[in-house]
Structure 1
Amino acid sequence: MNITKEQIDDLNAVVTVAVSKEDYQKNVDGILQNYRKQANIPGFRKGQVPIGLIRQQYGKAVLVDEVNKLLQDSLNTYLKEEKLDVLGNPLPRLKEDFDWDQEPLAFEFELGLAPSFDVKLKTRKSITHFQIKADKKEVDQQMERIQKQYGKLISKNEVTKEDEVTGSFRNAEEEIEHKTTFEVSQVAAKKAASTLVGAKPGDIVKLKTKGLFKETYQLAGNLGVAADKAEKLNVEVDFEIEEVNHREAAELNQELFDKIFGPDQIHSEQEMRDKIVADSEAQFVQQSDQKLLNDITERLIEQCDFKLPNDFLKKWIQASSEEPISDDQAKEEYEKSEKGIRYQLIEAKIIDEHGLSVSQEELIDFAKGFMKSQMAQYGHMNPSEEELSSLSMRILGNPEEAKRLSQQLMSQKLLELYKKEANLKVKEVSYENFIKEAYGS
C-alpha cells in the first residue's frame, strides 16, 4: 500500500491511497472459502460448491467490503502518524466508472485542514464581568413572597385588589378549558382588573386575553396554552370564579424561621435577610458566569480572524446529512454552524496550550455535586456518600450523560482560566440592572 498527499493550499489537501492485491487478497480468499463451506446451492453438496462459482457470485462484494475496511484503517493511521489536524472527515472523490479490476486500486480523498492561528486571552477591549448584588428592594420582595407563601389563607365572598382568585378560563373556539389560581395584582389590564374587583364565587366574568397579564408566560400558564399561542392570542374568554382568598402574611417569628431554614438556623429578621442575600447572590453567580462565558466566546471569535476550508466543509455537511440536501441547503447549514466551528477550534487550542484536562476522579466528584444539587431540589438535603457514589456511577455509565458532564466541567475550568487571564472589568449591579445592561430589557 502506498499513501501520498498533494497539498492544494494551506487549508485543503488530497490524499491518494494505492491498494495492491497483496494488501487485500488473502482476506478476500479467506472469506470466500468460508462462504464456500456454508453455501447451499442446488446441484452441489454443502461445502463442495466450486470456488470459481463462489467467486463469481460474491467475489466483487467481498472485495469492495474488504478494501473499504482497509482504506478506513490505513487512512486513520496515516492521519495520526502525519499529525494532520483535519476538519470533519476525509471525503472520497467518487468515480462512476471506477474499475475494480485495475491494479493497483487508487482512491483519492479530499481533506479540509484546520487553520493555524494564535489565541490571546488578553483581549484588546476589556470585557465586563458583572457581580450581581441583592439590593434592598429585591430582599423586601423575597421576604414578602415568603411571608405570603407561609401565611394564612382566609376565604372571602368578594374579590378585592389584594386577593387571589381560583377559577376556570374557557373559550370553546380556542379549546381553552383550564383551572388556575392567580393574584388580582398580577392582572395588567386595568379594565380586566376592575371587572374582577367586586365579583363573587359563582360569577362568570368576560376578559380580553390581549394584555391581560404583564408577561406572556403568565398568560400561557393561566390559560393552559403554549407560549407561542399565548403571544398571538387576542380573544375574549369566560372566567368562572370558584374561590376568593386573601393571604394574610405570616409573622416573622421563630416558628417561621425553623419551618423555612430548619431548627435553630435563623433567629431574627436580620439573619433571615442576610440568608436571603447570601442565597440570592450565590444563584446570581451562575447567571453572571454564563454571561461572562458568552461574552468571552464572542470576543475571541471576533478577535481570532482565520480562514476555514469553506467549500470543503459545505461538501462535508452535504455528504454527512442523513437526508439528501441541495448545495443551497448545505450552504445555509454551514453559515449557521460556522461560528460554532470557529469557537470549537479556538477552545481546543486554549485547552491544549494551557494543559486543561478532565480526570476520571474529577468527573466523579463533579457528578456527585450535580446529583447532590438535584436531590436538594426535591428536599433530600443530606444524601449519604454511598447514595451519591451509586447515583454518580449510574449516570456516568450513560456515555451521553458522561460526555455532557465532562463538557460542563471543562467549561468551568475554562471559565476559571478566563477569570485569571482575560482582560476583565468588574462591575457591581443589582439583578434588575444586570438584566437591563446584559440583555437590554
Structure 2
Amino acid sequence: MNITRENIDDLNAIVKVDIAKEDYSGKVEKILKDYRKNANIPGFRKGHVPMGMVKKQYGKAVLVDEVNKLLQDALNKYLTEEKLDVLGNPLPKEQENFDWDQENYSFEFELGLSPQFDVNLETKEPITHYKIVAGDEMIENQITHIRKQYGKLVSKDVVEEGDVVAGTFKNEEEGIENEISLPLENIDGKEQREKFLGAKVGDTITINTKGLFEDDHKFQDVLKVDHDKAHGLDIEVSFTISEINKQELAELDQELFDKLFGKDEVKSVEDLKEKIKEDAAKQFKQQSDQQLLNDVTEALIENNKFDLPKEFLQKWIQTVGEKPLTEEEAKEEYEKSEQGLRFQLIEGKLIRENNLEVKFEDLKAFATDRIKEQMAQFGQMNPSEKELDDIAARVLSNQDEVKRLSEQLMNEKLLDFYKENIKLEEKEVTYEDFVKEIYK
C-alpha cells in the first residue's frame, strides 16, 4: 500500500491511496474459507461447497468490504501520523470507469485543511463587562413582594383598590364556571377595575374579557380555557363575589428578618436592602458572564481574519446530513455556520495553547460543587463526603451529564482566561438599563 499527498494550496490537498492485491488478498481468502465452512447450499454437504462457487456468490461483496475497511483504516492512520488538522471529513473523488475486477486499486480523497493563524487578543476598544445590580425600584418591589408574601388577608365588606376578591367566573354558553381568588391589581385597565369598586359579597359583576388582563394566557388559569381559546378571547362573563380581603403587609421587624435569613443575619431595613442587592448580584452574574462571552466571541471573530477552504466545506456539507443537499442549499448552510466555525477554530486554538482542557478531577470537583449548591437549596447544608462522592459518581456515569457539565466548566475556564487576558471595561448598570442597552 502506498499513500501520497499533493497540496493544492494552503487549505486544500489531495490524498491518493494505492492498494495492491497483496494488501487485501490474504484477508479476503480467509473470509471466503470461513464462508465455505458454514455455507448451506442445496446439493452440497456443509463444508464441501466448491470454492469457485463460494467466490462467485460472495467474492465481490467480500472484496469490496475488505478494501473499504483497509482504505478507511489506512487513511485515518495517515491523517493521525501526519498530524493533519482537517476540517470536515475526507471526500472521495469520483472515478470514471472504476473496475472492481482489476487487482490493484487507486483512490483519491479531497481534504480541507485547517488554516494556520495566531490568535490576536488585542481589541480596538475595551470590551464592556457589565456588573448588573438591583436598582432602587427593584429593591423596593422585592421588599413589597416579601411583605405581601408574609402578610395576611383581612376580611372586608366592600371592595376597594388593592383588595383581593374571591368568587366565581361564569359563562354558560362557553361552559365556563371557575372559582378563583383574584388580586384587583391584576386586572388591566382602570375601567374594568372600577366595576369591582364598591361591590359587596354576593354581588354579581358582568365584564368583558377583551383586554381584561395584560397577557391573554392568564385566561387559561382564570377561566380554565385552553391555550388557543385564550388568545384574543372576547366574551362577557359574570363574576359573583364570595369573599373580599385586604392584603395587610407584614411588618419589617426582627421576627420577619430572622424568618427570612436566620437569627440576627439582618437587623434593619438597610441590612435587608443590602441583602437583596447581594442576592440579586449573584443571580445577575450568569447573565453578565453570558453577555461577556457573546461580546468576546464577536470581537475575536472580527479581530482574527483567516481564509477557509470554502468550496470544500460546501461540498462536504452537501453530503454530511441524512438527506443530501443541493449546491444552493449547501451554500446557504455554509453561510449560516461560517461564523460559528471560525470561532470554533479560534476557541480550539486558545484551549490547546493555554492548557484549558477539562480534566476528570476538575470535572468531578465542579460536579460536586453543583451538587452541594442544589442540596443547600433544599436545606441540606452539610452533606457527608461519601454522600457527595456517591451522587457525583452517578452523575458522571451519564454521558449526557458529562457533556453538559464539561461545556459549563470549559465556559468558566474560558471566562477566567478572557478576564485575565482581554482588555475589559467594567460598567455598573441596573438590570433594567442592562436589558435596554443589550436588547435595544
With normalisation by structure 1, the TM-score equals: 0.88
Judged with a 3 Å threshold, the aligned counterparts in structure 2 of structure 1 residues 263 and 345 are, in CA distance, closer, same or farther, namely same
Once the 2 structures are TM-superposed, how far is the Cα of residue 273 of structure 1 from its aligned partner?
2.4
Q: How does 1:246-325 map to 2 (within 5 A)?
A: 246-325=246-325
Percent identity between matched residues is: 53
CA distance in 1, matches of 2:99, 2:201: 85
Judged with a 3 Å threshold, the aligned counterparts in structure 2 of structure 1 residues 115 and 167 are, in CA distance, closer, same or farther, namely farther
CA distance in 2, matches of 1:174, 1:314: 56
User: What amino acid does structure 1 have at the position aligned with 2:213?
Assistant: L
Aligned to 1:374: 374
Instruction: Give per-residue Cα distances to partners, 1:173-196, cap 9 Å, x unaligned.
Output: 999998776533244433333345
SS of alignment partner, residue 342 of structure 1? helix
CA distance in 2, matches of 1:180, 1:52: 85
* Conservation of the 8 A alpha-carbon contact between 2:171 and 2:238: no
**Over the residues paired in the alignment, what is the CA RMSD in angstroms?**
3.2
Instruction: Give per-residue Cα distances to partners, 1:11-42, cap 9 Å, x unaligned.
Output: 22221111112222222222222222221111
Aligned to 1:89: 89
Aligned to 2:213: 212
* Conservation of the 8 A alpha-carbon contact between 2:4 and 2:15: yes
SS of alignment partner, residue 45 of structure 1? coil
Once the 2 structures are TM-superposed, how far is the Cα of residue 166 of structure 1 from its aligned partner?
5.7
Aligned to 2:409: 409
* Conservation of the 8 A alpha-carbon contact between 1:167 and 1:239: no
The structure with the larger Rg is 2
Which is further off, 264-273 or 390-399? Answer: 264-273
Instruction: Give per-residue Cα distances to partners, 1:335-358, cap 9 Å, x unaligned.
Output: 222211111111011112222121
CA distance in 1, matches of 2:176, 2:104: 71
Q: How does 1:141-152 map to 2 (within 5 A)?
A: 141-152=141-152
Which is further off, 9-18 or 152-161? Answer: 152-161
Give the unaligned 5+ runs of structure 1. none
CA distance in 2, matches of 1:360, 1:404: 14
Judged with a 3 Å threshold, the aligned counterparts in structure 2 of structure 1 residues 386 and 44 are, in CA distance, closer, same or farther, namely same
Aligned to 2:359: 359
CA distance in 1, matches of 2:402, 2:343: 22
Aligned to 2:424: 424
Aligned to 2:55: 55
Give the unaligned 5+ runs of structure 2. none
SS of alignment partner, residue 110 of structure 1? strand
Aligned to 1:123: 123
User: What amino acid does structure 1 have at the position aligned with 2:362?
Assistant: E
SS of alignment partner, residue 8 of structure 2? strand
Instruction: Give per-residue Cα distances to partners, 1:33-66, cap 9 Å, x unaligned.
Output: 2222221111111122122212211112222222
CA distance in 1, matches of 2:212, 2:385: 51
Aligned to 2:390: 390
Which is further off, 316-325 or 174-183? Answer: 174-183
Which is further off, 172-181 or 97-106? Answer: 172-181
* Conservation of the 8 A alpha-carbon contact between 1:196 and 1:205: no
CA distance in 1, matches of 2:260, 2:121: 44
Aligned to 1:189: 189
Once the 2 structures are TM-superposed, how far is the Cα of residue 210 of structure 1 from its aligned partner?
4.8
With normalisation by structure 2, the TM-score equals: 0.88
Judged with a 3 Å threshold, the aligned counterparts in structure 2 of structure 1 residues 263 and 63 are, in CA distance, closer, same or farther, namely farther
